[in-house]
Structure 1
């Protein structure tokens, strides 16, 4: 119907009109050639170059497909069209051939993938037996070092050193026999237990020396953080294993 002011006012908002006749000088009342005009919530497009606004790539792609199709239809490159019905592309695109209807095409044949060849077994490498000489030499050197240390060290030092060596051995055996997944909570709770040195710090708080007293106070604060953090991490880790 004519694009008059009365008709435009009767239209619902949101409608869009495209003036295809604007190339030849459209006769719509509110058209402005080359512009987009809005009137009473109605949009009127008056472009005069609509054909040139289409994407050129679509035409190029379509032309490329046609060229490849014609190239495959003339395998001899002599202009003679050969329709190979064994080709799935030509068979699916052919509707009628030699007076017979060939549509719909049969379902495409799915060729099973050839079985993958089994990989050749890797050559078995002979494991070299660990040498016994290395551990023996290490034990001899460690024994000589302990004997030399015991000959020159005071008696009190040797007692503390013996406890230290036994603690290292026991700790190593305990951690070695624990599941690797529990190493983190085990180490965190061990870290908290190691803060037993807070007892020594508490005993030194009552010292008459100001320096020792303040060092003891700082030690109590640090070990308190260590204890709290160790048990907190252990609790969170164990809760993860309970889920």
Structure 2
């Protein structure tokens, strides 16, 4: 079996596998092809892949001859059509948010796995690319905020007087939020964190942050660790509480998202307009609607001296370790579907089923079937 590693688009610096993964794949009797220049932006030259046992090929050859084609970002319909009829595509295809691509794969009898569909279960944790990239994103978001903030994060006692620590508010205490809390604490900030899930409170407190409590949240144990939609009464109480904390904050980092839905609005326009000049908002949910009313995807805007950064693909700014984590997630998943050097798709495995967009044109993931039947 030939496994092909694609070069990502111009604005993506990560790569699905670094050279270190090639050796592992070869022990599984898998032949590895790498598109020329695939790892350059992640500081992995073609020569390093070759020394690890991979063959460097053109994109055209890889797409037309590989049995399993792996990347990160989705590829075009034209390129999918150039794949072998029985080839399998794997990447972060955003299958729930990109119905045009999903329908194309189904209508053209293709087989594909979308890694953001990996179930949020204990057994699947080692394959969860969303959690891995959220770790990178939470870390980088704090460093970005520290760079933009016109004052120090930590407290200083100097001959020129005392500098009080920056006040940081983290909205959403999932993987990205918890990493942001830990990083902000390491930098010496005073950190407050909010999450609708009471289960997150203990984790927030364990990292040394203060938990912002809003009573009355609705929770769903079947939501896979994500937040769920709330009542209007709770949402208003939530906005008022966040407003009170936000107008005192130097930095706000928002991370709250609901799978398949628009990101919840947490920071209202009135809040932004009442914040301190020089304050910074990093909105990690900007691409799915934004947690801040005024954020725009991939743009930095200034409202009365408050800078709002609508973050896009922040994980790509740390390509080496992000690629390493991505590759490890992929390898852990591939263990389930590669046996003796060949693809062996066991659809009785809930992880395989949950991650598979379609197989030979038939929708497989329950989440894909649900949106196709609605």
Confirm or deny a common fold (TM above 0.5). no
- TM-score if structure 1 supplies the norm length? 0.23
The structure with higher relative contact order (CA 8 Å, sep 6+) is 2
- TM-score if structure 2 supplies the norm length? 0.15
Structure showing greater Rg: 1
Q: Which has the higher helix share?
A: 1
Q: Which has the higher strand share?
A: 2
